[in-house]
């Protein structure tokens, strides 16, 4: 059950074109042609199978620059068919687009103005969903302003009741088997000037419903519209560029017990009946936390940067490893949002030292203590930690880059 789109792009758009120097659909907003934005909106939608663009015969070169056809049928954008040339009116161009789609067995078709580049996925979904119960569906907005009827002399002759009045938008969706013959009948009857496809469908007796449109789905008509559209895209792009890139990483580490009288955990020296065995001070908590931060920025692991084979790190304080991970985050113009650490052991008891560990970690990371979570748990006597053979730790870290 294919869904196709006809994008009508054969108009001249004289008001906007006068300022842009080209038909408005080829004027650039955000550095890209208006038509390019419009095609992308449909080509990227998962419910759209085919896109048929209808262009003016004089615009072949401009269209090729706005939408170069992919060389491979599997390439992104390959659902866009080769453009066809339109007629002298919007209605005639719509007919040409439908004719080009006739052989593709589309069950439904949307017809859209090229000069509406900001159509959103939700509007597309709503008009398609409405076809379950109607032959056609269009998006629209209820009229909110007071409407006045004006006479030839420029004087107001009356106020129009705005109840049940809507502003029509596109895309206008139809069952292909209904709108295609309706277009053909209108052309055969010599009718040429329907301003939208819903009006033609109404003439043909098709049931057309209306769904909620979107205020941003505006049609570019004037030079002011072009300027506002360009500004909107650039502001949106700027906001995206300044939105932090949020990353999450996890870490896990294990060290066995060896003869000794203390362990290092979370940067804190804690008295115990054994020590943790390792090349450095074997702080299993800081090792897991270091790996979590390195994982968040995709920069290897602790063993890669501080290999056990290097005598330089024998007996080294593990806070040096964590400080290096923080430096790597800052080098990417980032900062650490929060960390969460879980220590798995039967002994020593972590509870009495929890707040001190949080304070040490917060100081190393340069963040507030309330951004550091430290928890401890046993494994109910199971596994190597349950047998008191060693300690394990797992950690997660959230890093914001940019």
Tokens of 74: 């599997």
| CA–CA distance, 334 with 398 (Å, rounded to integer) | 11
Residue 139: Cβ-neighbour burial (10 angstroms; 0-12, 13-18, 19+): buried
Cα angle vertex 63, ends 57, 69, to 5°?
120
Q: What is the pLDDT of residues 97-144, one digit of tens each?
A: 999 999 999 999 999 999 999 999 999 999 999 999 999 999 999 999
> Which DSSP string do the residues of 51-75 spell out, in sequence order?
EEEEE-GGGHHHHHHHSPPPSSTTS
Domain 2-241: CATH class, spelled out = alpha beta
Domain boundaries, the chain: 2-241, 245-401
With beta carbons less than 8 A apart as the criterion, state whether 54 and 94 touch: yes
Of the options 3.30.70.20, 3.30.1330.50, 3.60.10.10, 3.20.10.10, the CATH number for the domain spanning 245-401: 3.30.1330.50
The two domains 2-241 and 245-401 share their CATH topology (first three levels equal)? no
Q: In the predicted model, is pLDDT for residue 75 greater than 70?
A: no
Count H helices, E strands: the chain? 13, 19
Confidence at 232, pLDDT banded by 50, 70, 90:
confident
3-state secondary structure of 33: strand
Confidence bin at 16 (pLDDT 50/70/90) = low
Range 249-271 average pLDDT: 96
What pLDDT is attached to residue 338?
A: 96
Q: What is the pTM of this model?
A: 0.63
Contact 128, 3 (CB under 8 A): yes
For 200-224, write each residue's pLDDT tens digit: 999 999 999 999 999 999 999 988 9
Residue 235 has pLDDT above 90, yes or no: no
Rg of the chain, C-alpha, whole Å: 33
Q: What's the pLDDT tens digit per position in 132-182?
A: 999 999 999 999 999 999 998 889 999 999 999 999 999 999 999 999 999
């Amino acid at each position: 059950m294919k869904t196709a789109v006809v994008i009508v792009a054969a108009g001249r758009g004289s008001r906007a074109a006068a300022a842009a120097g080209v038909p408005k659909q080829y004027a650039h907003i955000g550095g890209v042609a208006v038509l390019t934005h419009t095609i992308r909106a449909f080509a990227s939608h998962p419910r759209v199978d085919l896109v048929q663009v209808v262009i003016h015969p004089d615009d072949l070169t401009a269209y090729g620059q706005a939408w170069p056809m992919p060389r491979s049928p599997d390439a992104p954008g390959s659902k866009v068919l080769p453009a066809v040339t339109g007629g002298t009116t919007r209605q005639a161009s719509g007919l040409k687009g439908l004719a080009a789609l006739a052989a593709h067995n589309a069950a439904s078709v949307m017809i859209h103005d090229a000069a509406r580049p900001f159509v959103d996925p939700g509007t597309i979904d709503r008009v398609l969903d409405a076809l379950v119960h109607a032959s056609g569906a269009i998006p629209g907005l209820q009229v909110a302003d007071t409407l006045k009827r004006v006479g030839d002399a420029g004087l107001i002759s009356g106020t129009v009741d705005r109840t049940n009045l809507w502003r029509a938008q596109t895309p206008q969706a139809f069952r292909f088997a209904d709108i295609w013959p309706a277009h053909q009948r209108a052309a055969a009857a010599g009718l040429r000037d329907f301003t939208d496809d819903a009006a033609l469908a109404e003439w043909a007796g098709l049931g057309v419903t209306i769904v909620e449109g979107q205020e941003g789905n505006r049609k570019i008509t004037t030079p002011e519209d072009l300027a506002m559209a360009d500004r909107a895209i650039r502001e949106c792009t700027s906001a995206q560029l300044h939105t932090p890139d949020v990353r999450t990483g996890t870490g896990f580490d294990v060290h066995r017990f060896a003869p000794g009288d203390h362990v290092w955990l979370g940067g804190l020296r804690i008295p115990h009946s054994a020590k943790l065995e390792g090349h450095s001070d074997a702080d299993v908590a800081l090792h897991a936390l270091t790996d979590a931060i390195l994982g968040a920025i995709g920069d290897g692991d602790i063993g890669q940067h501080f290999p056990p084979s290097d005598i330089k790190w024998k007996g080294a304080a593990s806070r040096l490893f964590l400080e290096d991970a923080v430096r790597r985050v800052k080098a990417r113009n980032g900062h650490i949002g929060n960390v969460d650490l879980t220590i798995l052991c039967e002994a020593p008891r972590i509870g009495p030292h929890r707040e001190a560990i949080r304070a040490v970690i917060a100081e190393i990371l340069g963040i507030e203590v309330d951004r550091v979570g430290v928890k401890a748990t046993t494994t109910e006597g199971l596994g190597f930690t349950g047998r008191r053979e060693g300690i394990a730790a797992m950690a997660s870290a959230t890093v914001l880059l940019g």
